[in-house]
Amino acid sequence: MLKDKNIEKIVVIKYGGNAMQEENLTVQLIENIVKLHNDGYKVVIVHGGGPFIKNQLELAGIKSEFIGGHRKTDSKSMKHIEMALKGEVNGMLVREINNLGARAVGLSGKDGALAVSNKRYHTDENNKSIDLGQVGDIHNISPEIIYLLLENNFIPVVASIATGEDGIDYNINADMFAGHLAGAIKADEFIMLTDVDGLLENPPDESSLINELPINKIEELKGSVITGGMIPKTEACKIAVELGTGKARILNGTKPDLLIDAVENNNSAAGTKIF
């Protein structure tokens, strides 16, 4: 495996959100990802694409229903979700990386049996289990295809879709997919890109940035400091570290130069480091 060969550091980057829709930010961020690659880092990208999924479903005349923050997904919706993630977002990222002279390969969790999922149910406030359709949780990661690509100097770009043991395709929360993958390949660093500077003690006051957070402190901050979309992001970082990632960091993807600053310069003031 890669770690046994004393090769370059592995960095898993979770990319998604509104920054992905702004072309200039996307270009700058991909330029910095390619710079990391050219500087000797082994980079893996995992992405979602909520805004693109929303557009695809609207074009198809499908109304989205959210339960507990998860988009209820029937077979018709799943077809369009896969079109958005694999056809649109994944293809765009691969194209841009290749245009900059690196070599990217687009994947989903289905390729090479990279990821196997379980069907996810939502439990409401009355402890009632609600069927979300084709929404899943990661059950297992088999990273051989990732190792193969990294060993041959490719950048894997992974869409957060996986097949269950029941043979059904599932939409997976991209944050959680990325955290599990980072842990499975024992990445040296897991970068969670978002649209804020990191975990803020008093949002939206950027001066209240929490620079370092041990994983054993995450649970006590939930509901106060850690709310909304930061819950799956911090949980994904926790999973990555528990499974063997060296460190995780929540970083502002709308400030592309922070990526180089955090990874190459190890700037402790860049984002929130979780360890």
Q: Residue 268: which CATH number?
A: 3.40.1160.10
d(CA 131, CA 61): 22
* In-domain check, residue 116: no
Question: The domain containing residue 184 runs over which residues?
Answer: 2-61+76-101+153-160+173-274
Gap between the Cα atoms of 266 and 262, Å rounded? 5
Does residue 69 form part of some domain? Answer: no
Residue 269: predicted pLDDT? 82
> Residue 142 falls within a domain, yes or no?
no
Token match 């950027």: residue? 206
Confirm whether 245 is domain-assigned.
yes
Residue 70 placed within a domain = no
pLDDT for 18 equals 62
Neighbours of 138 (CB within 10 A): 25
Mean pLDDT of 104-128: 95
pLDDT at 6 (0 to 100): 45
Name the average pLDDT for the chain: 93
**Would residue 112 count as lying in a domain?**
no
Question: What is the total count of domains within the chain?
Answer: 1
- Secondary element (H or E) of residue 218: helix 218-221
Query: Would 113 be classed as within a structural domain?
Result: no
DSSP lists the bridge partners of residue 189 as 11, 247
List all residues 6 or more positions away from 243 whose beta carbon is below 8 Å from its beta carbon: 180, 182, 183, 184, 186
Quick one: pLDDT at residue 79?
Answer: 97
Inside any domain, residue 185: yes
Measure the CA–CA gap between 78 and 136, rounded to whole angstroms: 12
| Of 187, 198, 172, 163, residue with least CA distance to 241 | 187
**C-alpha distances out from residue 67 to 9, 58, 70, 235, Å:** 38, 18, 5, 19
Helix axes 230-243, 174-184, angle to 10 degrees: 10
pLDDT tens-digit readout, 202-217: 888 889 999 999 999 9
The per-residue pLDDT for 19 is: 63
